[in-house]
Amino acid sequence: MTPVTVKGVNPADVKDVARAQTDENRPWWVRTYIPAILGGMGVTMRHLIANLRNRRNTATIEYPEVKREYSPRFRGRHYLKKRPSGDPRCVACYMCATACPADCIFIVAGEHPDPAIEKYPVEFVIDGLRCIYCGYCVDACPEDAIAMTRDYEMAGYHREDFIWDKDYLLNWRDRVEREDGYQPYEGEIDKERMSRGRL
Amino acid sequence: MDGTGLAISLAKAGFVAFLLLNAVPLLVWLERRGAAFIQDRIGPNRTSIAGFALAGLVQPLADVVKFMFKEDFVPPSANRTFYLLAPIITLIPALMTFAVVPFADVVRIGERLVQMQVADLNVGILYVFAIASLGVYGVVLAGWASNNKYSFLGSVRASAQMISYELSMGLSVLGLVMVFGTLQLDDMVRAQGARLFGVLPLWGIVLQPLGFLLFVISVFAETNRLPFDLAESEAELVVGYHTEYSSMKFATFFMAEYIAMTTGAALIVSLFLGGWQVPFVSSETLNGWTADLLGPGAGSWLAALIQFGSFSAKLGFFLWLFIWVRWTLPRFRYDQLMRLGWKVMLPLALANLLVTAAVLLVIDGAAGR
């Protein structure tokens, strides 16, 4: 096997450099590691002093007062969109429930009195504890009826608090102001990319 | 011992115990805030009394309350007697060692000269080593009695480590004992008031620089602080020997660690950094100034206070060094620890001892003794 040669470098030199890096060839005062330890302590002290002087470089976000800025596509708690009449836009087609990998959407369809609208959800329940916040329901919806917010502050005293029914999903944003998160795709659909399985 | 003497002794013991026990929450605060700032975080700053968080100093109070009210669980498979005994055996020696550390020069109360040291033992240093090595029993008992493999591994490591480093610890101080010709800590501190060429304070660190380095490293190992915290090794052994301990029993181990740290730092200061000696001002000069100012009685108190301040400042620096090193260096691998202890520290300590003995012999010979 011929050795791999790098242009302009004598392989013998490389070997010497490698040997020079080993412990035995360093001077004794380096091998006590004391200069290196002192150097390391200098690094930590520099950080300490800089952080005592001002908090610019600290990574801590002081949570309840300061909140992390999340992306506009953040997938937080869902909400159901409404028609101008106030009814849900949902037509109970079960597309979201079918797309859901966590199987957390439960829908009961009913006949809508308006003949222009075929169906409407009598019940629409999302189990927030099963949900994995993947946003597939948003992608699947043909009516742009479901979308996500940037709400991640989901705490509750009971498991029941996380069973979000239709009324809750339609109206919770009226009670709590939350920015929009992941929304249905609204641009031109690239047919070619779609055929490859990507939107 | 008459009644007044007893009262004075009790007062001194009480003062030292108060000092040590109150050093713990302060050190915990310093550790947590220091670590946070070193790692670009902020650290505990929320707990407050009536809106005053005092930069997080209230946090240890809340921690104590938490420790008191946590479930005190004894594992059913543990050996109950030894399990309960272990934290006590760890804490008591940590508290006891400080008894021989002098923290100021003598103070005049009426006709009586009071030494600012709980017990002025003529075997001072030997006492320190004897008591400090008792600490290992608590660790071994805790690990063994818990009946948990992590605790057991932690205690086995800790005992091997403490025994290995006790050797170089003792040998590194022997040189100093030979130089000063005494085992009493108070006499050693007093001897460190001398000057070299009238300028440089003749502290232990000047006389025995290598001994100082070895002793500091050994103290790190003896107190199980990083980079020698193989007894705890939270990354591999949960927390080692005290894994199975909860509530105040865990807090007792915690306190013992910080008190051992304080005692270790106090020993370093007393042996190598002049103890309560104020740099460049001898105790006689200081007492002269304060006596001119307030008279001999109150003057000696003021001098003692200044010396105590000097002692505390040095102590504080070394306590900070413990914390600083912990958040700088990673933990040794076990074979590296043993190699350092037996193949580096021990020969160096022996060589230091030999050279010191030879030099002393030459000096004594030159002086015609």
Q: How confident is the model at residue A42 (pLDDT cuts 50, 70, 90)?
A: very high
Is B34 within 8 Å of A48 when comparing Cβ atoms? Answer: yes
User: How far apart are the C-alpha atoms of A108 and B145, rounded to whole Å?
Assistant: 60
- What b/e readout covers B341-363, taking b as 16+ CB neighbours within 10 angstroms? beeebbebbeebbeebeeeeeee
The ipTM is: 0.77
Average pLDDT over residues A185-193: 69
B305 touches chain A (CB under 8 A): no
Contact B125, B176 (CB under 8 A): no
> Which DSSP state fits A44?
H
How many structural domains is chain B composed of? Answer: 1
- Residue A13 has what pLDDT? 63
- Per the DSSP assignment, residues forming a β-bridge with B281 are B278
B259 vs B257: CA distance, rounded Å: 6
Across the interface, of B37, B40, B329, the residue whose CB is closest to A37 is B329
- Dihedral angle sign, alpha carbons of residues B253, B255, B258, B260: negative
Tell if the CB–CB gap between B39 and A47 is shorter than 8 Å.
Answer: yes
Q: Residue A4: is its pLDDT beyond 60?
A: no
Amino acid at A97: A
Q: Cα distance from B353 to chain A (closest Cα, Å)?
A: 20
**Option in B42, B325, B328 nearest A58 (CB):** B42
pLDDT tens track for A59-74: 888 888 888 888 888 8
Residue A158's pLDDT is 92
* Confidence at A84, pLDDT banded by 50, 70, 90: confident
Q: Which helix (H) or strand (E) holds B104?
A: strand B104-109
Residues on chain A touching B324 (C-beta within 8 angstroms): 41, 44-45
Residue pLDDT, tens place only, A15-27: 665 555 666 677 8
CATH topology of domain A78-175: Alpha-Beta Plaits (3.30.70)
Run of H or E residues at B27: helix B3-38
CB nearest A57 (choices: B36, B40, B324): B40
| Residue spans per domain, chain A | 12-60, 78-175
| Number of neighbours of residue B365 by Cβ within 10 angstroms | 9
Rg (CA), chain B: 22
Selected for mutation to probe chain A from B38, B324, B326, B327 (highest A CB count within 10 Å) is B38
**Closest residue of B to A36, CA-based?**
B329
> Whole domain around residue B46: which residue ranges?
3-366
Q: What is the pTM of this model?
A: 0.80
User: With contacts defined as CB-CB under 8 Å, which chain A residues touch B328?
Assistant: 37, 40-41, 43-44
- Measured distance CA(A150)–CA(A179) in Å, rounded: 6
Nearest CA in chain A to B45: A62
Q: Is A47 within 8 Å of B38 when comparing Cβ atoms?
A: yes
Q: Cβ of B336 under 8 Å from any chain A Cβ?
A: no
* Closest CA in chain A for residue B326: A41
Contact residues, chain A, for B325 at CB < 8 Å: 41
**Residue B40 contacts A where some CB pair is shorter than 8 Å:** yes
**pLDDT, one tens digit for every residue, chain B (369 residues):** 577 878 888 888 888 889 888 889 899 999 999 999 999 988 888 888 887 777 788 888 888 889 889 888 888 888 888 888 889 888 888 888 888 888 887 777 777 777 778 887 888 888 888 888 888 888 888 888 888 888 888 888 888 888 888 888 888 888 888 888 888 888 888 888 777 776 777 787 888 888 899 999 999 988 888 788 877 777 777 777 888 888 888 888 888 889 989 989 999 998 888 888 888 777 777 777 877 777 777 777 888 888 888 889 999 999 999 999 999 988 888 888 888 889 988 999 999 999 999 998 888 888 766
- Cross-chain residue pair A58–B41, CB shorter than 8 Å: yes
